[in-house]
Structure 1
Amino acid sequence: MNVDETAVVAAPIERVWRAFTDHADRAEWWDYLFMEPVAGGSLEERWTGEHGEPVVTRGLVTRAAAPEILAFSWSDDGQAASTDVEIVLTARGADTEVRIRETGWNRLPDGAAMAADHRAGWRVHLANLRRHVES
């Protein structure tokens, strides 16, 4: 029940890394995420749930190895356990493969449903990232 999404972006790996880790750059395509992209850095995502309720997701960056790996654990306020996200960037010539894996759904009572929601969310984020760095 892991989430595993991959996209190839027509941009160099350093450009894609910057899109994830530079606050101003990230704000152009994921403006509701604040992240300190260093190991031990904090993470906060403020968004609106399906019924219009405000939701805050908080986390901790567990690994930041430029320009290839960004990893963090996060959970919504009140969630029983966190999930773990690993973003791996791989240079493919002039392009970059972006692979996002999110694990830990088995720690949550509604993990399967949440994994499906996150899978859809990561697809949106990847599409937004691609549009941003390829423009």
Structure 2
Amino acid sequence: MIVDESLLIQAPPERVWRALTDALDRAEWWGYIDLDVTVGGKVEERWSDDSGHPMLTEGVVTEVEEGRMFRFTWSDAEQPVATTVEITLAPAGTGTVVTVLETGWEHVPGGAALAADHRAGWRVHLTNLRRYLQ
């Protein structure tokens, strides 16, 4: 099982990359994530579940191809096994296709249900990114 979400954003790849990787820029559309896009950098997303209980999803950046792709581990506090998230940018005319792949669900207990939740979450984040940049 793979979460695979893509969205065309009418902005050049350099601008999309900055919106993803620059903390001040990213705070405008995804203000509750701490993301250091360097190999070994931390990823922490603090959010609340449907009942208002505070949650933490965290990981570590494992690979960066400047301006094109970064990859990180990703797991909720109660999740015993991390998934891997890869975010890639590809030029498309005057815009950029942003793709999020999240893999490793077969190793996560209840992986199918969690993958569906994450798919919905990535759609929200991509839509927020597009709204911010367009």
Asked if these proteins are the same fold (TM beyond 0.5), I'd say yes
Secondary structure of the equivalent of 1:70? Answer: strand
Instruction: Tell me how far 1:80 sits from its aligned partner.
Output: 1.1
**Aligned position for 2:13:** 13
SS of alignment partner, residue 78 of structure 1? coil
- Residues 35-94 of structure 1 deviation map (CA, whole Å, 9 limit, x = unaligned): 111011011100001111000111100111111001100111121100100001001121
User: Counterpart amino acid of 1:103?
Assistant: T
Count of aligned pairs between the two proteins: 134
RMSD over aligned Cα, in angstroms? 0.7
Q: List alignment gaps of at least 5 residues for structure 1.
A: none
Any unmatched runs of 5+ in structure 2?
A: none
After TM superposition, the score normalised by the length of structure 1 is 0.97
1:5-58 Cα distance to aligned partner (Å, 9 max, x none): 010000000000001100000000000000111011011100001111000111
Distance of 2:66 and 2:132 partners within structure 1? 20
Instruction: Name 1:22's counterpart in structure 2.
Output: 22
TM (normalized to structure 2)? 0.98
Large movers: runs of 4+ above 3 Å: none
**2:80 is equivalent to residue 80 of structure 1:** yes
Alignment match, 1:61: 61
Distance 2:59 2:100 in 1: 16
| Structure 1 CA distance for aligned equivalents of residues 66 and 13 of structure 2 | 10
